[in-house]
Amino acid sequence: MTRKTVTEQYPDTQPDLAPRTRGVIGLFEENCTVCMLCARECPDWCIYIDSHKETIPAASPGGRERSRNVLDRFAIDFALCMYCGICIEVCPFDALFWSPEFEYAETDIHELTHERDKLREWMWTVPAPPALDPGAEEPKEIAAARKTAEKLAAAQATQTTATGQATSTGQPTATGQATATGQATSTGEAASAGPDDPQGGEA
């Protein structure tokens, strides 16, 4: 109320939208597994999904064939959508995102049902997520992956060091130790035997 009112000259000048503007929903098709969660949770029933199953051959001889869902159609009727964002929140594989695009008006209401090709184009207008705060906790997925990588690196370094020390020291093998022990035993017996008594005993 204390600032001067400024009229934005749209469409000559594009508006400065907030980073989390709810414009349209973009689809990242590669992440979609056709789990149907978004369609089931949509309160307006404005998401339409069609799919079919494909059989994947076994990866190795004697293995078992697998089946997967293949996406045939993914459409959203924006004439019914109320932009609640539930579909984006429940998607377990990050296939749906908010895009700030808002210029998709149509003269016919039936043309507001956009198929996956259009939703895919809007995906590339999705802004990058904001950076984490300097003191924020590291995501659990990244922390687990980093700890695993550090453990593997430490194990490899320990194995390499042990192998290098054994090579540089030149420790005798078990056969060599047995030969040396046998030589020492025979030499000791010869030394203990006297010159007159071959058995080494005193007369």
> What is the residue type of 120?
R
Q: Where are the alpha helices (DSSP H) in the chain?
A: 37-41, 86-90, 116-123, 140-169, 174-192
pLDDT score at 113: 94
Condensed to tens digits (0 to 9), the pLDDT of residues 121-175 reads 999 988 888 777 888 887 787 888 889 999 999 999 998 888 877 776 665 544 4
For residue 50, the Cα-to-chain-centroid distance in whole angstroms is 27
Q: β-strand 113-114 against 47-56: which pairing, if any?
A: unpaired
- For the chain, the distance separating the N- and C-terminal CA atoms, rounded to the nearest angstrom, is 126
CA 92, chain centre distance (Å): 13
Peptide bond into 92 cis (omega under 30): no
Q: What is the pLDDT of residues 65-120, one digit of tens each?
A: 888 899 999 999 999 999 999 999 999 999 999 999 888 888 999 999 999 999 99
- Is the model's pLDDT at 46 over the cut of 90? yes
